[in-house]
Structure formats: structure tokens, C-alpha cells
């Protein structure tokens, strides 16, 4: 289950990173300030999502590790 979630997370982040690269390339073709500002805002929001996903995945890993440690201690008793 965790490996599947990790793979989904990884695939989603890869897609988001591809979108960022595409938007950065698109930004170079627009010369007006409003388009550049909008594209910049979109890029910032996608980066925020990626960073939040990384934090959530790390919290999930920590929770699973903690549960495993607790289970191991109980089995050892």
C-alpha cells in the first residue's frame, strides 16, 4: 500500500515538475507583464503543492515507522 502511494506521489510530482518546466518555457514567449505575472503565480502555486506533498509524505513515513517500532516493542515483550 505504501509503495503504491509513494509511486502515485512520485508520478504526481513528476507531472507537476513537467508543468512547471512547460510554464517556464511559455513565460519566455509572452512579453506583457500581466501574462508573466500570472504564469509566475501558477508556478509558485505548483511549487507550493509539491513542497506540501513532500512534507505530508515525510510525516506519513514517520508515522508508519513509529507504528512499526511500537509493534516491534510489543512483540518483543
The CA distance from 36 to 14, in Å, is 23
Which grid cell is 5? 502511494
Residue 36: pLDDT over 80: no
Residue 32 DSSP one-character state: S
pLDDT at 20: 81
Confidence of residue 70 (pLDDT cuts 50, 70, 90): confident
Confidence of residue 47 (pLDDT cuts 50, 70, 90): confident
pLDDT at 19: 83
The CA distance from 14 to 40, in Å, is 19
pLDDT at 2: 52
Amino acid at each position: 500500500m505504501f509503495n503504491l502511494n509513494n509511486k502515485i506521489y512520485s508520478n504526481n510530482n513528476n507531472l507537476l515538475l513537467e508543468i512547471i518546466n512547460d510554464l517556464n518555457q511559455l513565460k519566455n514567449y509572452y512579453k506583457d507583464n500581466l501574462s508573466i505575472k500570472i504564469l509566475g503565480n501558477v508556478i509558485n502555486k505548483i511549487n507550493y503543492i509539491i513542497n506540501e506533498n513532500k512534507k505530508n509524505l515525510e510525516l506519513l513515513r514517520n508515522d508508519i515507522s513509529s507504528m512499526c517500532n511500537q509493534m516491534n516493542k510489543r512483540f518483543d515483550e
